[in-house]
């Protein structure tokens, strides 16, 4: 018996009678010819009393058993039944074979023709659609089970308690560096004097075990005279603090914790002179008051001349800054800029705002942040801890702070009508005069007065530097031994 169409509905033959006649008695089966295998004997059918009803959609159709008559010996096999009228030749699916009249000899069923390749794309598309629908059903069932988990449906969600208990970050990863540095980074709350004093938030970091905290001057400037300062560590403990010293020009300040706890861990200091463009950076701070925020980036540039305000509308500060694209916002000021090893390479101090100015405006980060190189900040902090006052290197000449692009021009006169070149000062001893245009300082190009000051303040008093300048259209060089100025007055 052929299984070609098992389970597939077979259409009724139009030529077949509506009610089959009583079939004749089957002939006595003859012995199978030699070399042939006898097929399974079909049972004698019992004709139904009524014509079978048409199968319902979706129900399997039963195939009526038939009695196979014994063909005469040496009779050639009959030709396959022709395709149903109107069916496409060679189409898919092939037309079903014609159902023989009740009791007539059953003709062999021809093999189904192979599906043409031009329909393969349609079959593949159908499989994909089915897969997508199945996926949607699976999602719906998952949601249903989750909503009814109390009815005996077990959840497949793994609870956090089954996660590894001692997961460790590899050394050198951002997570490992941040975890080690965060306990040494503090959030600073500064409040000016008076009952209605205004306050601000900044960041600082532990400098030594005695409780000294390094930050920006503009973070604590409002509380420096009669205000209050408090410092909060990452675990939540808060301590009162006082100002040890401030350097407005460098924008560096040092605080001291009152009743400092034991076991403070200072952050290690790196070497900002050895930083390369492209090195990884990690900034930690309290942007907009969000303490213990960690952001990452790279060193975008070095030796950027930056002038920023101190937050009180007073003197500006100048730095030859490290530029980074790590996200820095108001509140990050005074926080550490770390390298990939966790060492401090700078103090985050200023951002470029969309308004076009440098400083701590309320604009968000646009990927242009600036940090004071730690080598300079370290020298300033040590000086403040020792004496409480900053010391600045100077060349003994007043330069024009407005002109840009042509160098730093020595003014015709100083403030208050004084001489622009200090008599017997470093510049005078090197032969510089009013009107000279300084274009280079220790092999760094100089395009303005702020750039010149930024470069001078990367050195110490007593350092010898080479200055390139122009006078009457000619270029000359001179060696200047830097002098010093104490305090911000």
Give dist(CA 287, CA 230) in Å, integer. 17
Which of 391, 482, 392, 474 has the alpha carbon at shortest distance from 429? 482
Cβ-proximal residues to 3 (8 Å cutoff; 6+ apart), any chain: none
pLDDT at 354: 72
Give bridge partners of residue 348 from the DSSP assignment: 371
Q: For 307-371, give the DSSP string.
A: EEE-SSSS-EEEEEEEEE-S---TT-TT-EEE-TTS-EEEEEEEEE-TTS-EE--SPPP-S-EEE
Mean pLDDT of 286-303: 95
Mean pLDDT of 303-321: 76
Encode pLDDT of 419-458 as tens digits.
999 999 999 999 999 999 999 999 899 999 999 999 999 9
Give dist(CA 477, CA 489) in Å, integer. 31
Encode pLDDT of 72-104 as tens digits.
444 444 544 444 444 444 455 555 555 454 444
Encode pLDDT of 97-139 as tens digits.
554 544 445 555 555 555 555 444 433 333 333 222 222 223 3
Rg over CA atoms, the chain: 46
State CA 261 to chain mean position distance.
Answer: 37
Q: Cβ atoms within 10 A of the Cβ of 109, count?
A: 14
- Put residue 396 in one of left, alpha, beta given phi > 0 → left and psi -120 to 50 → alpha: left
pLDDT at 308: 77
- Where b means 16+ CB within 10 Å and e means fewer, 257-290 reads beebeeebeebebbebeebeeeebbbbbbbbeee
- Average pLDDT score over the chain: 75
pLDDT at 95: 55
Rounded to 10 degrees, what is the CA torsion of 297, 300, 304, 307? -30
pLDDT at 404: 78
pLDDT at 170: 81
Residue with token string 């050195």:
459
Give dist(CA 332, CA 351) in Å, integer. 10
Give dist(CA 61, CA 247) in Å, integer. 96
SS3 304: strand
Encode pLDDT of 177-215 as tens digits.
999 999 999 999 999 876 666 778 999 999 999 999 999
Whether pTM > 0.85 for this model: the answer is no
Burial of 62 (0-12, 13-18, 19+ CB in 10 A): exposed
Give dist(CA 451, CA 457) in Å, integer. 10
What DSSP element (H or E) covers 128? helix 120-147
Confidence of residue 481 (pLDDT cuts 50, 70, 90): very high
Q: Name the residues annotated as catalytic.
A: 218, 251, 333
In terms of pLDDT, which residue wins out, 10 or 436? Answer: 436
Mean pLDDT of 148-166: 48
* pLDDT over 80 (residue 268): yes
């Amino acid at each position: 018996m052929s299984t070609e169409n098992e389970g597939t509905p077979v259409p009724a033959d139009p030529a077949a009678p509506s009610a089959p006649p009583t079939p004749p008695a089957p002939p006595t089966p003859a012995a199978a010819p030699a070399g042939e295998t006898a097929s399974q004997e079909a049972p004698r059918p019992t004709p139904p009393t009524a014509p079978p009803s048409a199968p319902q959609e979706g129900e399997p159709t039963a195939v009526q058993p038939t009695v196979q008559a014994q063909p005469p010996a040496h009779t050639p096999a009959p030709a396959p039944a022709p395709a149903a009228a109107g069916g496409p030749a060679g189409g898919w699916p092939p037309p079903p074979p014609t159902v023989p009249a009740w009791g007539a000899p059953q003709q062999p069923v021809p093999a189904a023709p192979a599906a043409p390749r031009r329909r393969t794309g349609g079959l593949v598309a159908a499989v994909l659609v089915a897969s997508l629908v199945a996926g949607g059903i699976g999602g719906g069932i998952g949601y249903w089970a989750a909503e009814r988990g109390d009815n005996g449906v077990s959840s497949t969600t793994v609870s956090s308690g089954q996660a590894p208990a001692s997961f460790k970050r590899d050394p050198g990863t951002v997570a490992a560096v941040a975890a080690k540095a965060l306990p040494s980074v503090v959030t600073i709350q500064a409040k000016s004097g008076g009952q209605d004093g205004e306050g601000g938030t900044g960041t600082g970091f532990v400098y030594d075990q005695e409780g000294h905290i390094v930050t920006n001057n503009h973070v604590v400037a409002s509380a420096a005279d009669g205000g209050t300062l408090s410092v909060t560590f990452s675990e939540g403990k808060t301590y009162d603090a006082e100002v040890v010293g401030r350097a407005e020009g460098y924008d560096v300040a040092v605080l001291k914790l009152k009743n400092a706890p034991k076991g403070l861990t200072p952050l290690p200091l790196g070497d900002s002179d050895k930083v390369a463009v492209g090195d990884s950076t990690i900034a930690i701070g309290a942007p907009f008051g969000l303490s213990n925020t960690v952001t990452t980036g790279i060193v975008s540039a070095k030796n950027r001349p930056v002038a920023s305000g101190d937050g009180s509308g007073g003197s500006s500060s100048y730095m030859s800054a490290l530029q980074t694209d790590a996200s820095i916002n108001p509140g990050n000021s005074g926080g550490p800029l770390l390298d990939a090893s966790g060492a401090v390479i700078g103090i985050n101090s200023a951002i470029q705002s969309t308004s076009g100015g440098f400083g701590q405006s309320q604009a968000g980060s646009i990927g242009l942040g600036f940090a004071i190189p730690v080598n300079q900040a370290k020298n300033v902090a040590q000086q403040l801890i020792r004496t409480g006052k900053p010391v600045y290197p100077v060349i003994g000449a007043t330069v024009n702070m407005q002109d840009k692009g042509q160098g730093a021009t020595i003014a015709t006169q100083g403030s208050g009508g004084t001489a622009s070149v200090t008599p017997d000062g470093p510049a005078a001893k090197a032969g510089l005069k009013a009107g000279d245009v300084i274009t280079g300082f220790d092999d760094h190009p100089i395009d303005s007065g702020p750039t010149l000051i930024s470069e001078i303040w990367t050195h110490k008093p007593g350092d010898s530097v080479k200055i390139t300048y122009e006078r009457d259209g000619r270029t000359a060089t001179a060696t200047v031994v830097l002098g010093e100025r104490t305090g911000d007055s």
